[in-house]
Structure 1
Amino acid sequence: MRTAAVAVALVGFLLGSTGIAQAATWGSSDQWATWSNGGYTIRNNIWGSGAGPQSIWANSYSNWGVWANHPNTGGVKSYPHAGKMINQRLSSLGRLSSSFNVSRPSAGAYATAYDIWANNNAYEIMIWVNKQGAVGPIGSKQTTATVGGHTWDVYRGSNGANAVFSFVRTSNTNAGTVDVLAVLRWIQARGWYGDVTVGDAQFGFEITSSSGGMNFIANSYSMTT
């Protein structure tokens, strides 16, 4: 029943404007499904406890999405995303910029967010461009800062395994460009870390609940060095 529901939801989502089902280039309902395209890796990444069914599809690294039906309970259930391995020292980067355009539900609980890892996952930098429902960042608020082309509430904390720095946009947006390098250097300037090695730079949807089944879509996305 669960597998059939996922399949029906995926086909239903991929209905074109003519009402005729159109297959995406790739799709899966596997918990850890991955697909590589154009130097990016797309991951279904259903990692939280109590998760419901979730199916992912993609036409490219830039255009992908998920249908997710996670129960209305606390705790992150999944983080479907597109990731690009940077693998460069912060001091050697001349540019790290990203553009995004998403379509997202008006209900549920989730954040549309970058998740950037540094120093072999010792540091996690989250950049929330929008949020919905009962979700919030790890740690305590440090300040409000304008950096990287946006204004953020900045939080600092730990999840027990690594330090977490979260930049939560003071108002939601579904499209824009973020100067990620400026954000990373802002953290360094405060002495919260040094000349770190930037690893996997990810962008996607951190979903806590999406009861009844909801669609999360990256209409376009890129990360440029």
Structure 2
Amino acid sequence: MKFLTAAAVMLGVASAAPTSTIEKRAQQCGQWDSKVTGAYTLYQDLWGISGYTGSQCSDITSLSGNTLNWWTTWSWSGGSSQVKSYANVVTKTNAVQITKIKSLATKWTWTQTGSNVVADVAYDIFTSSTAGGKNEYEIMVWLAALGGAGPISATGSPIATVTVAGHSWKLWYGSNGVNEVYSFTPNGANVSSFSGDLMDFFSYLIKSQGFKDSQYLVSVGAGTEPFTGSNAKLTSSYSLVPAYK
């Protein structure tokens, strides 16, 4: 398993919508390209590519109600322990304290193809102690660890095994050099179709790991972090609908 360290990551550090047909535009292939559709923004986010060989393109296929269909393709070589990017969709959310959030209801079905793929498929959530402040905590929920990919870890071992949102997870803890990072990874098979409430993960961290519900939500992303591989394609059907107290 390829565990991330601070050195590896320091380099980079919806409300209901009507059925929509996406206007055909050029797909996103630039390092920092993005595309907004409804309450969602698709980001290329090629933050860790310096010195490595490869390419990545991403695009949105359609938006129907709250469900966004999107894809990303990539090939990367070199730096087997270095994340190259995080092609991901971020949902528009309010900058409120965790205690003020009723639910973060989400559904995500995905498929991954390619050769020698080392990557994760994961939610990536950031919080701060102030509204609009800098990121302080990162909470990742990995639906897949492909080809030996591993999370940030201070020790190389999980700190707990827990059941949250109907699935069993290993919980890891460490630092990326800027944020404290909690990562939930599947305790067993990858989760290719997830339906649940991301607030369940916060509830566990608050009850069992001392996480403060006074933290403010900064962002919720869902996407893939590639390490290496070729002719890879992630296809996603995704929704996130926040509700507030």
Instruction: Write out the 4+ residue segments of structure 1 that deviate beyond 2 Å after TM superposition.
Output: 23-26, 190-193
2:42·2:59 contact (CA, 8 Å) conserved in 1?
no
Where does residue 214 of structure 1 map in the other structure? 232
| Alignment partner of 1:56 is 2:58 | yes
In the other structure, the counterpart of 2:200 is: 182
In 2, the alpha carbon distance for the partners of 1:172 and 1:159 equals 24
Contact 2:53/2:78 (<8 A) preserved: no
Q: Could you tell me how far 1:72 is from its partner in structure 2?
A: 4.8
Task: Write out per-residue CA displacement over residues 5-42 of structure 1, whole angstroms, 9 at most, x where no aligned residue.
Answer: xxxxxxxxxxxxxxxxxx95551211110011111110
Say whether residues 1:138 and 2:152 are aligned partners: yes
Structure-2 residue corresponding to 1:205: 224
Letter in 2 for 1:56: S
Residue 175 of structure 2 corresponds to 158
Does 2:147 align with 1:128? no
What amino acid does structure 2 have at the position aligned with 1:203?
A
What amino acid maps onto 1:182 in structure 2?
A: D
Aligned to 1:34: 34
More strand, by proportion: 2
In 1, Cα distance between the equivalents of 2:238 and 2:179? 27
| Structure 2 residue ranges without an equivalent (≥5) | 1-22, 129-133
Secondary structure at the aligned position of 2:195 is classed as strand
Number of residues of Structure 1 aligned to a counterpart in Structure 2: 201
Three-state SS of the structure 2 residue aligned to 1:141 is coil
Question: Is contact 1:24–1:58 with CA below 8 Å preserved after alignment?
Answer: no
Which residue matches 1:71?
Answer: 77
Q: Which moved more, 1:85-94 or 1:124-133?
A: 85-94
Quickly say closer, same or farther: Cα 1:201–1:83, change in 2 above 3 A: same
The amino acid that maps onto 1:206 is E
User: What SS does structure 2 have at the residue aligned with 1:184?
Assistant: helix
Match for residue 45 of structure 1? 45
Q: Per-residue CA shift, 1:145-174, capped at 9, x if unaligned?
A: 001221100011111100000000112121
Which amino acid in the other structure matches residue 212 of structure 2?
A: G
Give the 3 Å change call, closer, same or farther, for CA 191–108 of structure 1 in structure 2. Answer: closer
Residues 32, 45 of structure 1: CA spacing in aligned structure 2 closer, same or farther, 3 A cutoff?
same
TM-score (structure 1 length as normaliser): 0.84
